[in-house]
Every structure is written in C-alpha cells, then in structure tokens.
C-alpha cells in the first residue's frame, strides 16, 4: 500500500519527524526511521530547502515512491554498500490551496486542483543529503521577481496527471553525484524535456560519457573539472564552449559575455572557485530589472561601455557614437540552480549572498560552459562586435542616436528563427515589418539586437532591430543580416532606404516571468 497524507507546509517537518519515530503497523511500513528526520543535519537541509517556499502551500505526501534519479544511483552504487539503503523515496507535492483526498476522486474538482499544483520534491534515504529531484514552480516561491528558463514536465500524483513549468533541481548525495554531476543532470533534464533534439539522462550516463577521459574510478565521485563537464555535454549533443575569466580582457567583459547567453535563455554551467575550492552551479536567468533606469544616469557605466566600443570600432576606422549602451552592462543579479540551496535562488555575480558565513563564502565566477546547439558557430563576442560595427558605420546605415541627444540601448540575445517568427506574428509591429520578417529566409538560429531609447527600454519596447545569421562566423560579413530601424532598411540586396517603424514589444520567449507570466506557450 502507498501511504498518503496532506499537511500544511508549516507542519511538514514536524509530521515527517513523527513518521520517523513511528514504527506502528498503521503506516504499513517500518522503514521511515531510516530517513532520520529528527537528526539536526537533516532538519537543517529540509529547513533551508523549504525556507523560500510560501508558508500557505499544502503538501501531499506519498510513500513509497520510485524516483528514477535515485534508483539509478541506488543500483549503481548504494546497493553494493554494506550499510542498508532503501530503494524507495518519499515524494512531497505542493498545492497553492488546501486540498482533500476527495479532491483527487471527484471529477468536478480535478481541474481546480490542477490549477493549484506547484510542483514536487523527492526526499531520498541518504541522510543528511535527503533533498532529491524536484520541480518547483516560481509561483510557489515567496519572492519571484525574476526571469528564468522553464521547461514543462508531466507528473502523476495520486492517479491524477498534472503539468508543471519549472527548472529541474536536485541536491548532491556526495557519493554518486556532486555539484558538477547535478548541474549536468539539471541542464540535460531541462533540454530533454523542452527540445526533441536532446534526451534526459541519469547520473550513470555522465560517468559513461567521461570514463575515457580519466585513469581513475569515478565512484565514489570526487567531482568533475570544468573540462569534463564540457566534454560530457558535448557527448550529449551540444557544441559546447568554455569561457574563462583569465582569458577575458577584464571582469566586465567576462560578465558581459555571460549576460548575452543568459539573455538567450541558455542555462550555463558556472564554476565558482576560492583558493583551490570549487563549486558548480547553473545560471538560468536574472532579476527583472527592466523597470530600473538608474544605469542610464550612471556616467561611469556609460563611459565604460563607450571605451570598449572605441576599442572595437577603432580597429576598423569607424566613428563612435557617445550615446550607446549595451544592456549587458546593466547591473543585475542572477537566478541560480544550486544543489546547496532551494531552486531559483537570486544572487550576485560574485560572492553569492546565501554563502555568507559558510566555507563557500567569497567564491567568484572563474569560468562557465555554454551548451550551444551544435550548428551555432557565431559566438556572442562576434555577434556583439558585428552589431556595434553596424550601429557606428555612418557611411552606410549607422544609427544616429545623437541627433536628439537620446541614448541608444541595445539588447543582444540568441534565439531560433522559428520562435522569433512566432513572436513577430502576434506582436504589435506594422504589417510591412511583419511580412518582411516572417517571409525572410532565415537560418535555424539568429542573433537579435533590439534597439530602444531610455523610455522604450523601461517600458519593454523597442524601435529597431538587427538580425544576424548565427550559423555564420564572419565578423565583417553582414551580407545575410537584416537591419531595421527608423529611416533604415537593409535586407538582402537592398542597401538602405526609408522605412516606416513603430514601437513594438521586446522579445520575451527566452526567459519566463514578468508580464508574460510563468506558464509556457
């Protein structure tokens, strides 16, 4: 028999502790004590995980539950240990409002409880690291003023099928999976659920992928280097690219490149290090700061942006506008998938706040891996340099942002042409612009730069755009680009001409949240 119980989130820990001490036949099992929910280290792990979830949610508890992630670790490692480990786990599902057992059996109530479903967390019998696989909707969190990657997953709870939009998360068990393996697994779980080109994986698949790279055993796990992480992702079908802080001219350029990929909705495996210690996390989004216009008045930021612009443009003899800002220079915090915390934690670029006072305090980002589609050849820096050369080439179609003294802000991101055309079709662009973009013969992936002034940017609007072929890798060749903003059109053999443009909504399909909400299209 499967044991089930409904409790409020604020009562969850106390209830689990009661189960842990109860060996009566009423529960149909005497295995709960193995979880040891009364141990302080276990309590701390569970407390940290539940801290960011709203206190008002209700929990539906199921035991025993067969979890695919833990079962893989169990059969490849834990089952061979002398110490007894259970095969089964506990699953806790979250609902926005109070539910009853009758809610799952009354056909008239099923749709209402589907709307209340907020995700789940698996509790595995590997104390103290009991937090297993989870999918938690941002709607379940106390604070969710951010934009992030989400994928959709179907879950069956008590016989009823639910759908959840979330980002996959798990903590490490320190023996079969460490922070590196959980980051690779989360990344592949996201891509595998979202795109048909990729498959979800299990921890044993990661070991199989990298076993030829090492002359030592992989279990118990001692973690993975950034190179091994990249190699594993490459084995799973990506055209990976590693960016190192040491290889970038300065910290700002390193963070700027990271921002381009985060804005593109690509989960990045990020390496945090401090004096020989290393930790891996995923960057999957950023705080929702489009309404923050402080950066526009920041002369230091504007000066920094234009100094880099002059370095880029000066080498090819172009005039430089003094009023161009790269949105990647806007200060922001990032959304993390970190196996040491609850999912979707918002933190600073360096020295994440939730590590203050711990042995991971003062860790800095030193490298990150970008899992790119294998046929994307144009890197973010090449796309950025091409965009800047277009904007500042006054001989052809440079953007004249100085005529009215306004600031030009460009937002650079990568997306698929299919998704972009779908967005164009329902956007508030004029008919001529829609026809041109939708009927254009585009590659599978494109780099897009949206152009706005200060007011438009704050209102999530743009007035122009530049599209580049992401399957190209030539800085000077913009033959296949589309340049479109007031007074200028460049498309195929048309060099430039007057073209009517009106404001339109910025592209928002890469990251969910904000105005578009948390539900996937």
**Non-local CB neighbours of 474 within 8 Å, separated by 6+ positions:** none
Half-sphere exposure for 303 (CA within 13 Å, toward CB)? 3
| 389 in Cβ contact with 316 (< 8 Å) | yes
Buried b / exposed e across 162-175, counting CB within 10 Å, b at 16+? Answer: bebbbbbbbbbbee
Quote the pTM value.
Answer: 0.90
Q: Reduced to 3 states, what is the DSSP secondary structure of residue 116?
A: helix
Question: What whole-number distance in Å separates Cα of residue 265 and Cα of residue 228?
Answer: 23
Q: Which of 182, 184, 144, 181 is nearest to 166 (CA)?
A: 144
Phi, psi of 483 (to 5 degrees): -115, 125
Contact 285, 148 (CB under 8 A): yes
Share in percent of the chain as helix, strand, coil (round to 5)? 35, 25, 40
Q: Please count the CA atoms within 13 angstroms of the CA of 440 that sit on its side-chain side.
A: 29
Coil vs helix vs strand at 185: helix
| Distance between CA atoms of residues 460 and 285, nearest Å | 17
- Alpha helices, H only, 236-336: 251-263, 299-314
Structure-token pair, residue 388:
């800047």
Alpha-carbon distance of 252 to 256, in angstroms, equals 6
**164-167 long-range contacts, Cβ below 8 Å, gap at least 24?**
164/117, 164/118, 164/119, 164/120, 164/135, 164/137, 165/137, 165/512, 165/518, 165/519, 165/520, 166/119, 166/135, 166/136, 166/137, 166/138, 166/343, 167/135, 167/267, 167/284, 167/337, 167/343, 167/344
| Whether residue 492 has a cis bond before it, omega within 30° of 0 | no
pLDDT of 34: 63
| Non-local CB neighbours of 280 within 8 Å, separated by 6+ positions | 178, 179, 180, 182, 183, 223, 224, 226, 229, 269, 270, 271, 272
Half-sphere exposure of 111 (CA within 13 A, CB side): 1
What are the pLDDT tens digits along the chain (521 aa)? 888 999 999 999 999 988 777 554 444 445 566 677 888 999 999 999 999 999 999 999 999 999 999 999 999 999 998 888 889 999 999 999 999 999 999 999 999 999 999 999 999 999 999 999 999 999 999 999 999 999 999 999 999 999 999 999 999 998 999 999 999 999 999 999 999 999 999 999 999 999 888 878 888 888 899 999 999 999 999 999 999 999 887 888 999 999 999 999 999 999 999 887 899 999 999 998 754 444 444 444 444 444 544 443 443 333 334 578 899 998 899 999 999 999 999 999 998 888 888 888 889 999 999 999 999 999 999 999 988 888 877 655 555 544 555 688 999 999 999 999 999 999 988 888 888 899 888 999 999 999 998 888 889 999 999 999 999 876 555 656 888 877 777 776 555 455 678 899 999 999 999 877 888 76
Distance CA 385, CA 226 (A): 27
238: nearest Cα among 208, 268, 202: 268
Q: List domains and CATH numbers for the chain.
A: 1-171 (no CATH), 176-292+330-373 (3.90.70.10), 298-325+375-516 (no CATH)
Look up residue 101 and give its two tokens.
């057992």
Q: Which spans in 104-173 are helix H?
A: 110-116
Q: CB atoms < 10 A from the CB of 484, how many?
A: 22
Query: What stretches of 426-510 show up as alpha helix (H) in DSSP?
Result: 431-438, 454-458
Query: How far apart (Å, rounded) are the C-alpha atoms in residues 60 and 96?
Result: 11
């Amino acid at each position: 028999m499967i044991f089930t119980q409904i409790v409020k989130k604020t009562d969850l820990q106390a209830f689990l502790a009661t189960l842990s001490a109860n060996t009566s036949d009423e529960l149909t099992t005497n295995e709960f004590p193995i979880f040891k929910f009364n141990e302080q280290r276990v309590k701390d792990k569970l407390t940290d995980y539940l801290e960011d979830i709203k206190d008002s949610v209700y929990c539906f508890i199921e035991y025993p539950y067969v979890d695919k992630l833990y079962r893989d670790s169990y059969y490849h490692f834990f089952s061979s240990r002398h110490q007894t480990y259970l095969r089964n786990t506990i699953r806790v599902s979250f609902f926005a409002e109070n539910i009853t057992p009758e809610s799952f059996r009354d056909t008239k109530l099923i749709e209402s409880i589907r709307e209340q479903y907020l995700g789940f967390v698996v509790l595995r019998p590997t104390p103290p690291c009991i937090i297993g696989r989870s999918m938690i909707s941002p709607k379940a969190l106390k604070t969710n003023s951010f934009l992030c990657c989400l994928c959709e997953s179907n879950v069956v709870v008590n016989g009823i099928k639910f759908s959840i939009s979330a980002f996959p998360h798990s903590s490490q068990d320190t023996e079969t999976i460490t922070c590196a393996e959980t980051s690779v697994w989360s990344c592949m779980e996201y891509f595998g659920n979202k795109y048909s080109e990729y498959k979800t994986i299990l921890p044993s698949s990661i070991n199989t992928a990298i076993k030829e790279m090492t002359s030592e055993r992989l279990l118990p796990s001692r973690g993975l280097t950034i190179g091994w992480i990249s190699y594993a992702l490459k084995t799973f079908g990506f055209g990976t690219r590693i960016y190192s802080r040491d290889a970038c001219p300065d910290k700002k350029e390193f963070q700027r490149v990271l921002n381009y990929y985060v804005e593109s909705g690509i989960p990045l495996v990020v390496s945090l290090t401090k004096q020989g210690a290393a930790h891996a996390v995923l960057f999957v989004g950023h705080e929702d700061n489009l309404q923050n216009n402080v950066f526009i008045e920041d002369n230091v930021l504007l000066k920094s942006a234009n100094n880099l612009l002059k370095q880029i443009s000066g080498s090819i003899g172009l005039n430089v506008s003094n009023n161009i800002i790269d949105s990647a220079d806007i200060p922001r915090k990032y959304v993390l998938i970190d196996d040491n915390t609850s999912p979707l934690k918002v933190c600073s670029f360096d020295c994440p706040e939730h590590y203050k006072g711990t042995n991971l305090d003062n860790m800095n980002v030193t490298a990150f891996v970008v899992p790119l589609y294998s046929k994307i050849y144009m890197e973010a820096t090449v796309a950025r340099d091409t965009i800047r050369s277009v904007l500042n080439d006054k001989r052809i179609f440079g953007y004249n942002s100085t005529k009215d003294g306004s600031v030009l802000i460009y937002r650079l991101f990568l997306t698929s042409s299919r998704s972009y055309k779908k967005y164009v079709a329902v956007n508030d662009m004029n008919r001529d612009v829609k026809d041109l973009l939708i009927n254009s013969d585009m590659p599978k992936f494109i780099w897009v730069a949206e152009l706005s002034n200060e007011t438009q940017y704050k209102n999530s609007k743009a007035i122009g755009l530049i599209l580049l072929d992401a399957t190209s890798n030539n800085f000077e060749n913009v033959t296949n680009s589309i340049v479109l903003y007031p007074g200028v059109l460049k498309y195929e053999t048309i060099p430039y001409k007057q073209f009517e443009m009106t404001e339109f909504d910025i592209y928002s399909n890469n990251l969910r949240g904000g105005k578009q909400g948390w539900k996937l299209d």
